[in-house]
Structure 1
Amino acid sequence: MHTYGAIRYYQFGNPADVLQLIYRRVLKPGAGEVLVRMTARPINPSDLIPVRGAYPHRISLPCIPGYEGVGIVEAIGPSVDPSLLGKRVLPLRSEGTWQERVVASSELVIPVPNDLDDDIACQLYINPLTAWVILTEALRLQPGDFVAVNACGSSIGRIFAQLSAILGYRLIAITRSSRHTQELLSLGASHVIDTSDANTPSIREAVLSITEGRGAAAAIDSVGGADGEQLAYCTCTQGTVISIGLLSGQPVHWGEVSRASKTAVQLFWLRNWVRDASVHTWHDTFGLLIDLIQQNRLRLSRISERYELAQVKQAVIAAEAPASKGKVLLVDADNKSII
């Protein structure tokens, strides 16, 4: 009986404590499905926050984590185009990617061009797609509008900086460290607010100064808690705040904040866009992002460390280390090396 390794958790908690390596029987793909042998998967905050129990109402235990990754089509089911065999693809909208094999819908896998290596391809989903959809669909912005984004030293913050420049918005990047300032400016941010600088006024005062008292047209919060609340008061009257994450683990009472700040608040869930997107839109949107990467107009995070699935506990600790300087990948045994 052929088996393969997978990471699973049976209860919520600290990822380094609750994630376990188990073995499963290899399944044959059904009609319209492909079997993908995974080669690389990034570790994102969005992978780990559910493990901690932030969304128990929509996570069924036991669960295999991992929203994105890249692999090679190893087998196909009935009615699947044989040309997919041996192709590198993103097996998205399937079961968790933190396993050696993933069964996915053949019409939803995203083919990966030969000139995009696994390090780039495995990061193409969560952060780039979230940033693209927010800036092009969720927000009603005009060229030149200011957009304030917190946690901007993160992977998605760097993507917001680049896409804002591409799309013509002016990004106010909010960070907690001066080490991000020059990089964000070089990537396309219009201004950087470093909250670790003792000379920096409040975020609201800094944003109002940059925008000549008007406030930003929109703000994007990845942190929640007090940081998210502060961001709402940085927008202009009738401005928009979009909440996309909860890095602090502290929720915001957005209804109260919206009334007090006279700001419209939207809770953005990528899964809702994914659910409603047609197959055509799904592939077209990835095509746009891949084009930007191939044109060297959009760059994704560098890879700092690689771990095998069996080393998942060390991997998640490394991914959350404050000094981490890039993405941590979970890779197959033949692709493990520390950069």
Structure 2
Amino acid sequence: MNGRRIIYRQFGSPASVLSVEESPSRALKKDDVLVKMTMMPINPSDLIPIRGAYAHRISLPAVPGYEGVGIVEEVGSNVSSTLIGKRVLPLRGEGTWQDVVQTKAAHVVTIPSTLNDRTAAQLYINPLTAFVLCTDILNLRPRDVVVMNAASSALGKLIAQMSKLRGFSFIAVVRNDVYKEELLQLGATTVVNDGDESVYDEVLAYTAGAGATVAIDSIGGEAGNRLGACVQRNGVFLAVGLLSGQQVNWQGLSSRLQTTLFHLRQWNKTVTDTHWHQAFNTLISHVSEGILTISNDGTAYELANVQQAVKQAEQASNFNGKVFLLGQK
């Protein structure tokens, strides 16, 4: 099955280096499935590699995109034909920004009819990360106090919801008050504006001087260092992002805290396929039941208009929701 794909042959500004090409015909491997894509979101984690942040592990040319939803069109000889026609997430294989994606049958996640395409397309990067962090990695419980910066992000909003589900306290650190009320409604215990208030003072006041038990850092640099200072001795400092482009003082932080990094890609490699699917099944149940919510707001662009789409996705002042790409009809 032929179609189009978004591709980059050099690193640089996504709007400049991305182009649309016809996908070459490929033979389907015996354990693979072919999925006709319907909708793919644009995430910061999709754009960062295009700029060259992970050039050491990316072979060019490359197709971007980690998430998306589509319909199974074909299956390999070792795969049950009952998958044909099912709506799935084709993950951990090729980049998703193309009309047709090929991946292993073991790495497709079937989506129930209760979830629309916009919700389904966003289930992987942020929802699975939030779920795994709060369960597998940190095993957060009611006694825990978690402080997180860049908490108005999609991940931060999901952590806020997980705090309500798991019972831990969540101190959301933001740069403005735009999402303050939303974060409180979602489950945040309190919201601290890093521009107007001292995060350190607010955390110590909330914890009666004890400090947080866990910090989740999305920014790095001085913001990450300040966040680490809010954590009690032998607490956990977990880095999930590097929005500042600068590392924290790992040596200083590790002298008094348990420090670690989380990459969903690495977690995928450490767990069995059975555990991976169990995590997804629980996550999908929570979303289907409304325990966890994912915003459907945003704009959708045809695949051919990818330059316009990534420009909108990169606008720092964009409060209009997620930007999506649409597959071939």
TM-score (norm 2): 0.96
The equivalent of 1:190 in structure 2 is 189
Q: How far is the alpha carbon of 1:58 from its aligned partner?
A: 1.6
The equivalent of 1:270 in structure 2 is 264
Q: How far is the alpha carbon of 1:288 from its aligned partner?
A: 0.3
Distance 1:220 1:9 in 2: 32
* Structure 1 residue runs without a partner (length 5+): 335-339
The equivalent of 1:316 in structure 2 is 310
Distance 1:8 1:30 in 2: 22
Q: How far is the alpha carbon of 1:333 from its aligned partner?
A: 5.3
1:281 equivalenced with 2:275 (yes/no) = yes
Q: How far is the alpha carbon of 1:245 from its aligned partner?
A: 0.8
Any idea what the Cα deviations from partners look like across 1:294-314, whole Å, max 9, x if unmatched? 111100122311111111111
Distance 1:305 1:333 in 2: 17
Distance 1:99 1:169 in 2: 40
Q: Check whether the contact 1:33–1:77 (CA below 8 A) recurs between aligned residues.
A: yes
Any idea what the Cα deviations from partners look like across 1:6-55, whole Å, max 9, x if unmatched? 11112221111111212222323210111000111111111111111112
Q: How far is the alpha carbon of 1:115 from its aligned partner?
A: 1.2
Distance 1:38 1:309 in 2: 11
Q: How much is the aligned-residue C-alpha RMSD, in angstroms?
A: 1.4
Q: How far is the alpha carbon of 1:257 from its aligned partner?
A: 3.2
Distance 1:162 1:36, change over 3 A: same
The equivalent of 2:137 in structure 1 is 138
1:300 to 290, 294, 304: 294
Q: Check whether the contact 1:28–1:35 (CA below 8 A) recurs between aligned residues.
A: no
SS, match of residue 25 in structure 1: coil
* Structure 2 residue runs without a partner (length 5+): none
1:238 to 231, 234, 245: 234
Once the two structures are superposed, the pairs formed by residues 135-174 of structure 1 within 5 Å of their partners are: 135-174=134-173
TM-score (norm 1): 0.93
Any idea what the Cα deviations from partners look like across 1:204-228, whole Å, max 9, x if unmatched? 1121111111111001011112111
Any idea what the Cα deviations from partners look like across 1:261-306, whole Å, max 9, x if unmatched? x112101111111012212111111110011011111001223111
Distance 1:141 1:111 in 2: 28
- Aligned pair count reads 328
Any idea what the Cα deviations from partners look like across 1:122-143, whole Å, max 9, x if unmatched? 1111111111111112225431
Q: Check whether the contact 1:42–1:122 (CA below 8 A) recurs between aligned residues.
A: yes
The equivalent of 1:258 in structure 2 is 254
Q: Check whether the contact 2:33–2:103 (CA below 8 A) recurs between aligned residues.
A: yes
Q: How far is the alpha carbon of 1:252 from its aligned partner?
A: 2.4
Any idea what the Cα deviations from partners look like across 1:141-179, whole Å, max 9, x if unmatched? 431311001111111110000011101111000111111
Distance 1:163 1:19 in 2: 36
User: Letter of the aligned partner of 1:137 in structure 2?
Assistant: D
1:247 equivalenced with 2:247 (yes/no) = no
The equivalent of 1:337 in structure 2 is none
User: Letter of the aligned partner of 1:327 in structure 2?
Assistant: K
Q: How far is the alpha carbon of 1:104 from its aligned partner?
A: 1.0
Once the two structures are superposed, the pairs formed by residues 59-98 of structure 1 within 5 Å of their partners are: 59-98=58-97
2:225 to 221, 226, 229: 229
User: Letter of the aligned partner of 1:236 in structure 2?
Assistant: Q
Distance 1:233 1:174 in 2: 14
Percentage of identical aligned residues: 46
Once the two structures are superposed, the pairs formed by residues 45-64 of structure 1 within 5 Å of their partners are: 45-64=44-63
1:326 equivalenced with 2:318 (yes/no) = no
User: Letter of the aligned partner of 2:201 in structure 1?
Assistant: E
